[in-house]
Amino acid sequence: MVLRAQYAQPFKAIYLCYSFCKLVAFNIPYWLLINAIPSNRPRPSWSLRKSLSVKAFHWAMGIILRTGELQVMPNHHRVESNSNGVWINAAPEHLFDDDLRMWLSVAQVKPCIIPGYYYTRHSAPSHTNARKIVYHLHGGAYVTWSASPACTDAARIPKGYLTCANTVSSVFAPEYRLSSINGKGCFENPFPAALLDALAGYLHLIEQGYSPQDIVLSGDSAGAHLALALCRYLLQATRKGLATPALPSKLILLSPWADFGFSHQESYNSVKITDYLRDYDFPQSAITAFLGPHPRSMLEESPYISPASLSFFEEDHIGLFRDFPNTFIAVGTGERLLSSQRDLAKLMRRDMGDDKVVMYEAEDCVHDYCAFDWEEPKRSQTFAEIDSWLTGK
């Protein structure tokens, strides 16, 4: 994670040693004891493995927040070797509208080249158009994870498309810049850096000969948030007369993080026992790094930042999602973000029509469940549902 660490060397090593000893000597035995009885688990349907995995992931998020990543994570500075990676050209400035130029100026962000990674099948898929590709934006709260196959959790989603969705022949994932706060307290790569890079990756596919009808846009968690922002920008820029390409043919949102403000804070706090997402420190630190020097009012008022804000149910915001691609939203009913995700679906259906938006809810699954193998078989079942939706079955 690239947030500013609370503990630096040599205290980091001491803190990690203490935390791991406590994990082994106390946390794990306690979790085993409590969760041995199904009725004591966060949800009775959960297996012991899943219950312990959710606890461990919640614990790990707290550790990483305080110390930084425990391993070197691939980033936008270089293409990983033996990973089917390429360089993506920076987005050209003639496609920037006035809003984007203003955000770039405030954030002191400039276009740059970034890596991108192709995921492909070992064998040709059946009954599919070989030019159809999923353009996937990874999750990680804009502060962690990677598009590279070396990031195991994030890579499970591109691999899930290839394994479980017969209509998908390949996936392309851009290594967009992550937001952070450096040791001097300065913001690095805040909004709209990731949006700029997502646009660059989309243009890369167009330059490679894919038409927008060939491309299915996908994102998980913060990546789903970014996918919504990319669609919004493409529409807005086109309406202003810029030569941006058409929108992708379809949109897939996996556990979208769609409200960075506080309009859903009460529901977020009401289901904390069934998810690994933390109460305050992690989401707020990530939001602070992502928003950077922009005014906090954007958290409630900007559809780029909080597209599911309750304020957008007001009459003067009708049409916010008009002309968006047909959309498949997959969420877990154990998510802390479930209320905002359901409201996102309502807003999209209001503007697009009920038949244009599919809301798929996986019973008792946690946030971003498609990234975790301990959410099988519901993870694979979700990709199968997406496959049926893509083929119109």
Decide the pairing of beta strands 170-174 and 114-120. Answer: antiparallel
Note whether 61 and 89 are same-domain residues: no
pLDDT tens digits, the chain, 393 residues: what are they? Answer: 444 444 445 677 888 899 999 999 999 999 999 999 999 999 999 999 999 999 999 898 888 777 777 778 899 999 999 899 999 999 999 999 999 999 999 999 999 999 999 999 865 444 444 568 999 999 999 999 999 999 999 999 999 999 988 888 899 999 999 999 988 889 999 999 999 999 999 999 999 999 999 999 999 999 999 999 999 999 999 999 999 999 999 999 999 999 999 888 766 666 677 788 887 556 788 999 999 999 999 999 999 999 999 999 999 999 999 999 999 999 999 999 999 999 999 999 999 999 999 999 999 999 999 999 999 999 999 999 999 999 986
Host domain of residue 249: 85-391
CA distance 173 to 198: 9
Residue with tokens 């502060």: 143
Given 146, 221, 255, 339, the catalytic residue: 221
Note whether 131 and 42 are same-domain residues: no
> What pTM does this model have?
0.93
Note whether 262 and 180 are same-domain residues: yes
Angle, vertex CA 378, rays to CA 261 and CA 60, nearest 5: 55
Any idea what DSSP says for residue 42? S
Q: Is residue 2 in some structural domain?
A: no
Which is nearest to 249 in space by CA: 358, 341, 339, 327? 327
Note whether 51 and 105 are same-domain residues: no
Note whether 33 and 142 are same-domain residues: no
Note whether 20 and 59 are same-domain residues: yes
CA distance 226 to 228: 5
Residue with tokens 């922002």: 229
Give yes or no: 221 in active site.
yes
Note whether 19 and 139 are same-domain residues: no
Element (H, E) at 21: helix 11-22
Note whether 203 and 321 are same-domain residues: yes
Note whether 28 and 97 are same-domain residues: no
Q: Which of 41, 67, 93 is the last residue in one of the domains?
A: 67
Q: Is residue 4 in some structural domain?
A: no
Number of independent structural domains in the chain: 2
Which is nearest to 276 in space by CA: 42, 58, 63? 58
